[in-house]
Amino acid sequence: MNKSLVFVGALLLAGTAHSQVIFNDTFESPTFTAANLDGQQGWADDGASLPGTGNYVVNNSRSAGSGTQSVRIGSNALSIEAYKTLSTPFGGGVNPVISVSADVWIDGTSASTVFYGITGRIGNDRIAGLVASSSGLVRRTVLGTFVDVAGASVTTNAWNKFRYDVTYSSPGVASIQYFLNNAAITNSISVNGLFAGNPASVGNFSEVALYTFNFGTSGTVGANFDNMLVQLTPVPEPATLAILGLGAAMLRRRRKASK
């Protein structure tokens, strides 16, 4: 085998950034039991402390994967979330790409004013969120109000994959991009001054959530969540990128010399 090709291949493999799975909750037995999600595997449920609001419940009504269980939101019309704190907050100076995704099923009979999806927080600030309603409308947020995503829609009574990527360029500075069924539905949206009030925690991404919010007054609610995945992909350092560029240049020269 050509030694130049072997060397270049080694460089490319060395420079490849590998994803690290932080957690991947499929809500299957025996890890999860058919009961309230609150208290299971690090999950907490706002509804557990708000009487009359309903709860997120692990049940076997449907599954997006090869198993039989998912998380069902009970009938209510309030804004509640089930959230999980990451054991190690990410951000700081390591410049990762944090990818958060989940499968979401929205009942066709759910009120069109009720939205379901996934969110993420930095401290008390909701930095990211992607939600949709039974009317197919999709909304996203970046540190504030949810706004419509033009041209995006979901199919009810079917599983849709929701995803957002948070890419850090430096402490306190990031960009966020949203995906639906693995297709990008927004460009990268820049965010500056993240968590500026607490320099010790600047840029730390610390919590993800299953989210239900009623933007109106209708009370019919119904959705399932499955396969919550959080993974971290390091961004290659400049030196690594330079090595990759050198390897590509060597390969081009080798090809020219062989002509």
Rg of the Cα trace of the chain? 21
Q: Please report, as a single letter, which amino acid is at residue 137.
A: L
- Residue 6 confidence (pLDDT): 44
Residues 134 and 241 in one domain: no
Residues 253 and 214 in one domain: no
As a whole number of angstroms, the distance between CA 185 and CA 165 comes to 12
How confident is residue 94, by pLDDT bands cut at 50, 70 and 90? low
Residues 105 and 125 in one domain: yes
How confident is residue 198, by pLDDT bands cut at 50, 70 and 90? very low
Residues 143 and 37 in one domain: yes
Instruction: Please state, rounded to an integer, the average pLDDT across all residues of the chain.
Output: 79
Reading the block at residue 59, the tokens are 């049940």
Residues 68 and 192 in one domain: yes
Write out pLDDT tens, residues 19-52: 789 999 999 999 999 999 999 999 998 765 555 5
Q: How many domains does the chain have?
A: 2
Residues 8 and 94 in one domain: no
As a whole number of angstroms, the distance between CA 244 and CA 43 comes to 41
Residues 140 and 244 in one domain: no
Task: Of 7-16, 122-131, 132-141, give the range with the top mean pLDDT.
Answer: 132-141
Whether 10 has a pLDDT exceeding 60, the answer reads no
The pair phi, psi for residue 7, each rounded to 5°, is -65, -45
How confident is residue 12, by pLDDT bands cut at 50, 70 and 90? very low
As a whole number of angstroms, the distance between CA 211 and CA 47 comes to 11
Residues 87 and 176 in one domain: yes
How confident is residue 111, by pLDDT bands cut at 50, 70 and 90? confident
Residues 252 and 165 in one domain: no
Residues 45 and 151 in one domain: yes
Q: What percent of the chain has pLDDT over 90?
A: 43
The CATH number of the domain where 220 resides is what? 2.60.120.200
Whether 250 has a pLDDT exceeding 70, the answer reads no
Whether 53 has a pLDDT exceeding 50, the answer reads yes
Sole residue written with tokens 């994967």: 65
Residues 242 and 229 in one domain: no
Reading the block at residue 158, the tokens are 């079917």
Reading the block at residue 240, the tokens are 């690594």
The pair phi, psi for residue 254, each rounded to 5°, is -60, -40
**Whole-Å CA distances, 136 to 40, 64, 147, 151, 181:** 31, 19, 14, 10, 14
Residues 136 and 179 in one domain: yes
Kindly report the CA angle at 85 between 93 and 126, in degrees rounded to 5? 75
Task: Judge contact between 242 and 15, C-beta under 8 A.
Answer: no
Domain range for 8:
1-17+237-259
Q: What is the DSSP string of the chain?
A: --HHHHHHHHHHHHHPPPPEEEEEE---TTTS-SSBSTTSTTEEEGGGGSTTS--EEEESS--SSSSS-EEEE-S--S-EEEEEEEEEEE-TTT-EEEEEEEEEEE-TTS-TTEEEEEEEEETTEEEEEEEEETT-EEEEESSS--EEEEEEE--TTSEEEEEEEEEEEETTEEEEEEEETTEE-S--EEE-STTTT-GGGTT-EEEEEEEEEESSS-----EEEEEEEEEEEEPPPHHHHHHHHHHHHHHHHHHHHH-
Write out pLDDT tens, residues 145-172: 899 999 999 999 999 999 999 888 776 6
How confident is residue 99, by pLDDT bands cut at 50, 70 and 90? very high
The pair phi, psi for residue 81, each rounded to 5°, is -145, 150
